[in-house]
């Protein structure tokens, strides 16, 4: 897969989120959400879900976990996605012909 595939998948997922997002909670998640709701006293539980998404995303970016998964599936990093080009395109490494190392020192 490639940067274009990642962009297409992100755009498709973004469009799919326009529909109402319904999340079922297990007992542990329900208890944790209740504790967070009591502690932070948000206007509604949706605000806590938004905060949780931001924290998970930030943590995944900072630890390199997001890049690890993106590299494994799409062969790009988050920085490459943000810039719209791969590292090879940024550095111009794909503009030069490949070297033939076997014949490099032959005369």
* pLDDT tens track for 17-40: 766 567 888 999 889 988 999 888
- DSSP-derived letter for residue 75 is S
- 4 closest CA partner among 93, 85, 73, 101: 85
Separation in Å, CA 59 to CA 13, 16, 62, 75, 87: 21, 24, 5, 21, 23
Domain hosting residue 45, numbered range: 3-10+27-92
Q: Residue 84: inside a domain, yes or no?
A: yes
What's this model's pTM, rounded to 2 decimal places? 0.71
Q: Residue 56: inside a domain, yes or no?
A: yes
Confidence band of 89 (pLDDT split at 50, 70, 90)? confident
As for how many domains the chain has, the answer is 1
């Amino acid at each position: 897969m490639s940067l274009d595939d990642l962009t297409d998948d992100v755009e498709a997922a973004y469009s799919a989120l326009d529909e109402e997002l319904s999340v079922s909670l297990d007992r542990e998640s329900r208890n944790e959400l209740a504790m967070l709701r009591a502690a932070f006293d948000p206007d509604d539980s949706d605000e806590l879900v938004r905060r949780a998404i931001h924290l998970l995303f930030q943590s995944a970016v900072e630890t390199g976990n997001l890049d690890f998964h993106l590299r494994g599936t799409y062969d790009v990093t988050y920085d490459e996605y943000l810039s719209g080009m791969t590292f090879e395109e940024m550095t111009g490494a794909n503009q030069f012909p490949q070297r033939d190392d076997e014949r490099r020192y032959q005369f």
